[in-house]
Structure 1
Amino acid sequence: MAISRSGRWAGVLAGGVLLAGVGVVFVVVGLDRADKIASSAGFFVGVAGLVVAVYGVILARRATPPPPPQSPEPTPPKPSAPGQAPASGERSVAIKGDNSAPIVTGDNNEVQ
């Protein structure tokens, strides 16, 4: 989702107004009290960030699909016809022709 140019300028303008407003409040209340307010606000922003991060991790873990179940027995290989090379078993490779031909990896695959 792309933000339009006017949306970016509105965000920059809102951030500038917010920053100016916070600056005015800090000047009015004094440097010592402003420091205490900023520390408290920073604490709550940090806690909110931690909560959002933990929530994001929980959502990411829920979204991960479980691994597919493995079949208990391997499928028997298909009989090879002329011009075909059978490939069967764990980490098998079927080669048609010499090593310059296509190579297909996987269980029970055939080059056609």
Structure 2
Amino acid sequence: MRQNGLMRWEPSHFRAVVRTHPVTGEKALCVNPQFTRSIVGYQKEESDDFLKFLYEHIALLQDVQARIKWKYGTFVAWENRVACPSAIYNWEDDQRRHVARLTPRAEPPYETLFEE
């Protein structure tokens, strides 16, 4: 990709849109507006529209969200294999938070093939 007269490497990585948790068998969406650029097999306009729909679905589906009101001593942990973590800034400017990502050595989710 050429940008401002310079050649820029465009990384390519493919992931399934739906992944299955290896232990529970639950299916989960695996799209993220920061990383997901398109859906393979769709025209650009279709892909953009579908991704927009999925992002809104994830953002608005409150029954699968956890909202945490941070205060001193708050500790939160989640199993990240099928989570879509997203931070909102709901603490005062003078408060400090320490965030650490823990990644267990566990079997990753696997691609879910299309089933009719």
Bin of the TM-score, shorter chain as denominator length: under 0.3
Q: Max radius of gyration: which structure?
A: 1
Structure showing greater relative contact order (alpha-carbon pairs closer than 8 Å, 6 or more residues apart):
2
Q: TM-score, normalised by structure 2?
A: 0.21
Greater fraction helix: 1
Q: TM-score, normalised by structure 1?
A: 0.22
Greater fraction strand: 2
